[in-house]
Structure formats: structure tokens, C-alpha cells
Structure 1
Amino acid sequence: MFLIVVGLNHRTAPVRVRERFAFTPLQARELLAELKCRSGVEAVVLLSTCNRTEFYLLLSKGVARTAVIEVISRWTGVEFESSLKPFLYAHTERNCVRHLFRVAAGLDSMILGETQIMGQVRDAYHLALEAGATESYFNALFQQALAVGKRVRTETGIDRNPVSVSSAAVELARQALGGLAGRTVLVVGAGKIGELTARYLVDSGVSGVIVSNRSFDHAQELADRFGGRAVRFQELYDRMLDADIVISCTAATHYVIHAPAMAEVMRRRAGKKIFLIDIAVPRDVDPEVGLLPGVALYDIDALGKVVDENYALRRQAAVQAEAIIEDEVDKFLQRQAERAVVPVIAALKERGETIKQRELKRALNRLGPLTPQQQKIILSLANSLVNQLLHAPVVRLKEMALTTRGHIYAGTLKELFDLEREAATESECGSGGSN
């Protein structure tokens, strides 16, 4: 039996392929149930996001991998050899553990160090857990992956420096104003970038988000989503009177914020400073606006420099994160090895000792009186037989404990020597004797 992850992601497959592998929670639950029922599949977790689809599997038979590929091909309608195989990757054993830890830490994401993947890994694990598709080893593996992701972010700060234009705009505003709590922000534009910007603003603690867009319905929809307020585009300059920050991100092909109108806004603000961030291409804000007293204007080039600097910082943090992950992989495998192997070795030796003592007593009773030298020889023989018989499986089990299959071999040894039933029998006998 072995541990394996089979998947594809933004590096190995284009979106036209990835979109075929996007599963809803309901579909994922049905797929997990089907895979778990396949012969040789002991456990499975399905991680499906917009940038990756990965099947984490614990397999007891080599043919199980082929069966899994067949199921995936049928579900997606993608033929394996000609259309699917070129985009897939697979990692086994230790490499699988390392890959999962890197995914949870955001090191394998399109945006290095992004935090959303943590919740996606957690959701995937909980879905598999609720579907009965995991077992003890998988539970420990995914719980540790989440802990590793948290440790990486805590110790390296890899997610503290924004590397998207929207998040950089919000971070720039936060730094300039000394915090966003209690601030009012006007977002001009209700498209995808506007949505991302509004999300970052709310997460940063702004007290109010005002959304303005040429389509008032779109502005209202976005504002409702984040507990904000929508205003009509004609009221844009009036709403700037109360705003601390204006972030503009429309799809217009011309300026939507002009210098003469902004000059009037600044006159009415009586010198109160306003912070404008233009993240649109083409630009939304006339560059002349930045020359007005009290106006701080930043365009996408300024934000690009922030993004580049922050990405360099994330790459530095990623080096530290990789070292943390290697440490965590070692610790996880060692802990699982000890949990699975040490009790089994102890039970096996105890079983051997019990058999030895029982058979020695029986043999000595049959032989009658013996000299001390004769008793010593027989005892030495019995010890030697038991020790030599158990030596190979114990040594081999300790070796296998250093791999991800240690717990599997431990379970096999328990079955072969019937150790669990032996322990149960002894326990029952002990309980019966005390009543």
C-alpha cells in the first residue's frame, strides 16, 4: 500500500482543461463515495479549486491507481492517454506529504503565499471526513498540513505583503492613513477588480464602503455583498466630499475623474486631504488631478512597484518556508512511525515472551528433574529461537517506519500475528478473574 497524489494545476494544464475538473461540493461527495468503494482505495481526499484539482489517495493495490484514472476520465469526459495524461502529475510517499504541506502553505499557488488555499484544503478534508472517505493516517496528515500552513504564515510572514494590484492599493491606503479603521472608502467601478478591492477593504476594517458605477444595479449588487452603500454615477463628486480614499477601477476608455471637477471638490473639502488610487488601464483619473493641493494620487505603475517589491519579499520568505516544510515532513513521518510501530513491536515481543514461557513450562514439566546446567541450555535455546524468529520482522518494521507505509506494515503485522485478538483475550481473562 502507498500514499499518492494525482492532479493537475495552473502550471501543468490550461484553463480549458482545468475547468473540466471543477467539481461542486455535491459532485465531489459523489465522486469520493465512488472512489472509496473501489477495490484497493483505503482513503481519498479531493481538493478542487479554480487553479488545481488533486486526488490524495491511500492505495492497497497497484491496480487501484488505474481504476482511479478510469473514474476521473469518465466523470470529466476526458480521455486519459490522448487528452489527460500530458497534464497530470503524481507524487508518492514522502513527496506526497511534502506536496500537500507546500499547497497548504501557499507555496504551490499562482500567487505565492496566498491564504485562500488554507480554507480550501480544510473544506476538502472536512468533506472527505464527513463522507467517510478518510482513515486515521489521512486525518493526521491533513490536520498536520493545516498546522504547517499556519506555522509558515506565522513565522515567515509570507502573506503579509500584498502582491495583487487590488490588495496593494488597499495596503498603500492603509499605510498612508495609518490604518483603515473608521475610514470611508469610495470604490468607482463594480467589476471584478472593484469586487476584490471591496473585499480587501472590508477585511481591513473600513467603516464604510461606497460603490459608484455607471450601472447603478451593478453598484447596488456589489455594495449589498459587502454591507456598503451604492450611489449613482452622477453623484460621484458629491460623495467624494465625505470620502477619505477613492479607488477607481472602471473599464472606461477615457478619464472619469477630471481635474476641474476635483478642484471644486477640494475647495468644498476645505483643505481636507484625499487619497486617490487609480488602478484602471486606461487610467480613470486625469494626471492633472495629482497636482491639486491636498490630493495624493497613485496610478497602477506606482502600485506595480509595490507589488514587485512585495513579491521579492515573499520569495525570500518562501526560502524560509521550504526549510520549515522539510522539518515538518520529517517530524510528521517520525511521529506516525512511532505511533504505528512502537506499540506493535512491544506487542509482538510480549507475544513471543508469552509463548516462550508457556512452552518452556510445558517442556520442563515433561522432562522431569534437570540439572541447573541443563535448564540453562534449554532456556538459552528458547530465548534464541524467539529472538531470531522476531529479529527480521522487527528490524524490517523499524526500517519501514521511516516511510509513509510504516503504519500499513504495522497493521499487516498485527493481522499476521493476531496481536489485537491476543490482547483482547488477555484483557477478558484478566477481567474474568477479578469478578
Structure 2
Amino acid sequence: MLIVAVGVNHRTAPVEIREKLSFPAHSLPKQLQRLHSYGGIEGCAIISTCNRTEIYVTPRELDDGLNAVWDFLSNYSDLDSSEIKNCTFCHTLYDSVRHLFRVSAGLDSMILGETQILGQVRQGYEIALQAGTTNRVLNTLFQQAITVGKRVRHETGIDKNAVSVSYAAVELAKQKFGDLNGRSVLVVGAGKMSELTAKHLVSNGVSGVIVSNRSYDRAEMLAEKFQGRACRFEELFRYMKKADIVISSTAASHYVIRYPDMCELINANPGKKLMFIDIAVPRDVDPQVNKLPGVTLYDIDDLQNVVDNNLAERRQAAVQAEKIIEEELDEFLQWLSVQLVVPTIVSLKEMGEEIKKRELERALNRLGNVSDREYKIISSMANSIMKQLLHFPIVRLKEYAVTNEGHLYTKVLQNLFNLEVDERDSQRYRIKNKGKENVQEILTSRVNDEMHAQKQVHSGGCQQ
């Protein structure tokens, strides 16, 4: 049975195309059933996020399956099929399985190793399962993909290090204070980056949020989002005494937090620990502040260095993750190969069972009346002979199924025993050897390609 993946993502199409091919979660059951109703589609599932839409189908025939997906997407989006083909990718069997495993592991995301996509893969599968559009192959594929995603994160730690400026600030705060529970943050300026950094700090335990901005109304609006409080800009240093972390990101052309003012504050509060996260360019905080006892200052370059170091660690983890995916891919393809010979095995067993019943009935008719004990002995002997004769052919066929010649052995067995097997159920498509003598070099190269646009992504929003 074939597995086909057709999709569009941030690499293949601009946002104006992706949004037309996006499926809201509430619409998926109906759309899945529409796709499933196409002739030749035995199973289907859809993963749809803000940056990708991927359709997985198990068609009877490759061309029929692809044409069904193109037609389905065209009708859904009102885009011409040729336009859709130009901006989508298409993977079959080996590549489609491997692609889903990499997606689930976070290796195909804008931010390498991010975690949100694993939940989105699970959600897409569960919706398809509830809609009744999956089959045995898709069920096994998605269940293993979810397992792969968990295994990669557990064994490599690829998602442990911050790779955005806002998350890097959280990481540095944890290094300084340890547990952030009960800590307070003062946000100077009401820009998006300050808001995002404050959001991540709050989600990591920071409990008090104070916002100061030249526009007091804007300060109040931002403070309300965190159930915090606003302070007027002229009261900045009075409220700074209550803060553990200060995030500053204003549009000022000069230092907003000056060294003399900070000297006065620290002298008046001996032993106080204060961490500054200066995201502004030009900088808001005088670099001399970093010399004061108990004060730590990080500017945008410091944060970017953390991001760069963590990205390097994720690249190393990704190489290990690719190896895990190769292992899991081999395991799945072995399972799938065995499924492809199941119709032949079933037919062989049915033939053996028919011969056994026919010959047993003929023998018992010739013997006449036999006791229950004699009947059980004769029946057991016939059943044992049948099973022993078929045991090794079945075992060998399963072993050969995972080789490139598996389809040939299947055909030979069908001819030798004159089995009637639906050819569509016993199709075997060769899986070419991908060549693993240079795996380390290949994997490292692939990971470097994935990281091409990483440094440009510094937000904590949807990154799939």
C-alpha cells in the first residue's frame, strides 16, 4: 500500500497561498470525509498549522491518489491545480514516512526542535481518527510519528535551549535567580518585544509585573494583560526598588537608565540584586551600570550570543535526531513490508485450511464410525501437518518482505501454490537503498540546510 504526502509550508509558498490552503480545526472532519470519498483513497489525515498544511493519504494507485488530492485542494481553495502543484511538495512511501517523522521531531520547523508541532501532529491524527478516515497503515504511521517526536526530545534534548531573544532572557534570569517564582519584573516601554519577554517570564513563575511608559495609557493597557500595575515614567526609580528584573525597550535616543541614578538606588538598598535586560537599540541602560554590586546587565548582543550558542547545540542534537529517525523509519518500513505480504499469507492459510477440511472429511467418511478420542487424534494430526508444511514458507516470506526482492518472492509463492490474491492488495513498491556509508556527512549537511533562516526568527509565536 502506498503512502503519499502532499503539502505546503513556509519554504514552498508565500503566506497568501498558505492561508488559502489552511484548514480550521472545526472544518477538518467534514473536509476529511470529502477527501476520503474520492475513489481510490483508503485513508487520509490532515495536519494544518499557521505555517503548514500537509495531507497524508493511502491510495490504491499513485496517480489516482495524487489527482484526488490536487482536485480536493483546488476545490477547497479555488486555486488552479497547476498553481497548487507549483507551490506544494509531494513525497511517496519512504520519503513521506521520513518527512512526517521529521515534522513530528521539530526538524522541519522554522525554529529547529520547537515543541508545539508535536501536539499539532497528534491533534491532526486524532481528528482524522474520530472522523473515521484513517486505516491501519495511517494509524500505525501517526502513532509511531508521535513516538518518534517524544523520543527525539527525550534522548537529544533538542528543545531544551532557548532560540529566541525573549526566551534567552528567561534563561539568563533563571541563571541569576534560579527559581523565578515570586520574582517581580519592571517593564520599561510598552513595545512588542518587551511584552513578549514579560509574557515568557510570567509563564516561568514571575508573579508581579509593573509597567512604566511615557504614555501612561499604554502602560495601563500592557499592565492589564498581566494583571499588574502601571507607574508613571517619572516614578520609574521608585518602583525599580521593588523589582528583581527590569526589561527596557523604549524608542529613546539616549540612556533612559543612567549610571548616577542607579548608584543612588543601589547605595540606598545595599544587597539588592537586580537584572537588566536591555532590548533597545540604541541602548536604554548605561553600560556602566553593570559595574555596580548586585547588578547584572544584558543587552541585545548578549541575548543574541545566547541564542547563537543554543542554536549550535540544537544543530548537534539534530544530527543525533536524524539517526533516531533513520532507526524508526527502518522499523516502520519493515512493518509495512510485512503488511504487504499479508494478503498472500492469508490466502495460503485459507488454501491449507480448505485442503485440510476436505481431506479430513474424506478420511472420516472412509473410516466410518470413530470415537470422539479417535476423531480428536485424526483432526489434530491433520491440523499439525498443515501448520508444519506452511510454517517455513510463511516465515521466509515475512523475512524476504523487508528486502528489495520481497515482491518477487511473493509472486513466486502465489504461482507455486496457485493462490488467488487481489494484486492491488499485494502491491510491493521497491524501497531503494539510500546509501548509508556517509550518513554522518549527509545528516550534518541536512541539518545545516535546515538552519538557514534560524537567526531571523526571534519571536515566540507560531513557528510551525
TM bucket, shorter chain = 0.7 to 0.9
Instruction: Say whether residues 1:68 and 2:73 are aligned partners.
Output: no
What's the CA shift for 1:96?
1.1
Q: What RMSD, in angstroms, separates the aligned Cα atoms of the two structures? A: 3.8
Give a deviation string over 1:1-24, Cα, whole Å, max 9, x none.
411111122222233332333332
Query: Contact (CA 8 Å) 1:210, 1:228: kept in 2 or not?
Result: no
**How many residue pairs were aligned?**
394
Structure 2 length-normalised TM: 0.73
For residues 171-215 of structure 1, the C-alpha deviation after alignment (integer angstroms, 9 at most, x for no partner) is: 011112233233222233444423432342234233334444556
Task: State the partner residue of 1:353.
Answer: 352
Sort the Cα spacing of 1:39 and 1:210 in 2 relative to 1 into closer, same or farther, 3 A. Answer: farther
Tell me the distance in 2 between the aligned counterparts of 1:11 and 1:187.
36
2:159 matched residue in structure 1: 159
Check if 1:111 corresponds to 2:111.
yes
Residue in 2 that maps onto 1:90: 90
Query: Contact between 1:214 and 1:232, CA under 8 Å: does it hold in 2?
Result: no
Q: Following the alignment from structure 1 to structure 2, what is the Cα–Cα distance between the partners of residues 254 and 22?
A: 45
**Against the structure 1 CA distance between its residues 56 and 202, is the aligned structure 2 distance closer, same or farther, given a 3 Å change threshold?**
farther
Aligned residue identity for 1:74: N
Residue in structure 2 matched with residue 318 of structure 1 by the alignment:
318
Asked if 2 retains the 8 angstrom alpha-carbon contact of 1:3 and 1:58, the reply is: yes
Q: How does 1:280-291 map to 2 (within 5 A)?
A: 280-291=280-291
- Give a deviation string over 1:361-419, Cα, whole Å, max 9, x none: 57779999xxxxxxxxxxxxxx99xx89x97x99777655669x99xx9xxx99859xx
Please, which moves more after superposition, 313-322 or 349-358?
349-358
What SS is found at the alignment partner of 1:21?
A: coil
Between the aligned partners of 1:217 and 1:139, the Cα distance in structure 2 is 53
- 8 Å contact from structure 1 (residues 216, 230) kept in 2: no
- What residue in structure 2 maps to residue 421 of structure 1? none
Q: Mapping of 1:135-214 within 5 angstroms?
A: 135-213=135-213
SS in 1 for 2:3: strand
1:107 partner amino acid: L
Distance 1:221 1:116, change over 3 A: farther
- In structure 2, how many angstroms separate the alpha carbons of the residues matched to 1:345 and 1:63? 24
- 1:256 Cα shift? 4.0
Q: Relative to structure 1, is the Cα distance of residues 346 and 206 closer, same or farther in structure 2, using a 3 angstrom cutoff? A: same
**Contact 2:341–2:397, Cα closer than 8 Å, also in 1:** no
Specify the alignment match of 1:432 in structure 2: none
SS in 1 for 2:91: strand
Task: Specify which structure has the bigger relative contact order, considering alpha-carbon pairs within 8 angstroms and separated by 6 or more residues.
Answer: 2
Tell me the residue number matched to 1:309. 309
**Cα 1:5–1:242, aligned 2, differ >3 Å: closer, same or farther?**
same
Q: Percent identity?
A: 49
Match of 1:10 in 2: 10
Unaligned runs of 5+ in 1: 369-382, 418-435
> Aligned pair in 2 of structure 1 residues 118, 214: CA closer, same or farther (>3 Å)?
farther
| Aligned residues of 2:58 and 2:65 also touching (Cα < 8 A) | no
Q: Contact 1:223–1:229 at 8 Å: present in 2 too? A: yes
Aligned-pair CA distance for 1:337: 4.8
Structure 2 unaligned blocks of 5 or more: 368-384, 411-418, 424-464
Name the CA shift for 1:140/1:66 in 2 (closer, same or farther; >3 Å): same
TM-score (norm 1): 0.77
Task: Report the counterpart of residue 41 of structure 1 in structure 2.
Answer: 41
Q: CA deviation at 1:326?
A: 0.7
Q: Structure 2 matches for 1:110-129, cutoff 5 A?
A: 110-129=110-129
Task: Give the C-alpha shift of residue 34 in structure 1.
Answer: 1.7
Matches within 5 A, 1:251-400: 255-337=255-337, 340=339, 347-360=346-359, 399-400=400-401
Contact preservation (8 Å) 1:211, 1:228: no
The answer on whether the counterparts of 1:344 and 1:414 sit within 8 Å (CA) in structure 2 is no
Q: Structure 1 residues 350, 183: closer, same or farther in 2, change over 3 A?
A: same
